[in-house]
């Protein structure tokens, strides 16, 4: 598999300016954990059950893709982030 790149981008006047790029597995894993946590929070905070269901489905799909792309995530269970032990 090709290396994954994470790029920080700034929208500016109709185009996007890349500010920084990294291929660091550790940084990409932290980013992936943050994204998954954000989708879990969206599901918990959803104003109704339909919206919560959509966020849970999106989170599940993201988790499957990110687990394949970011090997560090494959050993974690949902809701378990860096520095957290098993429940």
Task: Give the tokens for residue 10.
Answer: 């700034």
What phi, psi does 10 have (nearest 5°)? -120, 120
Averaged pLDDT, 58-76: 85
Residues 44, 40: Cα–Cα separation, whole Å:
6
Q: pLDDT for 7-53, tens place per residue?
A: 999 999 999 999 999 999 899 999 999 999 999 999 999 999 999 99
DSSP code, position 80: -
What is the domain partition of the chain in residue ranges? 25-75
Q: Is the pLDDT of residue 87 over 50?
A: no
């Amino acid at each position: 598999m090709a290396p994954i790149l994470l790029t920080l981008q700034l929208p500016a006047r109709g185009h996007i300016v890349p500010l920084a790029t990294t291929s660091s597995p550790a940084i990409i894993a932290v980013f992936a954990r943050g994204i998954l946590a954000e989708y879990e929070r969206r599901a918990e905070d959803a104003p109704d059950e339909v919206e919560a269901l959509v966020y849970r489905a999106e989170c599940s799909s993201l988790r499957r893709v990110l687990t394949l792309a970011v090997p560090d995530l494959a050993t974690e269970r949902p809701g378990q982030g860096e520095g957290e032990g098993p429940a």
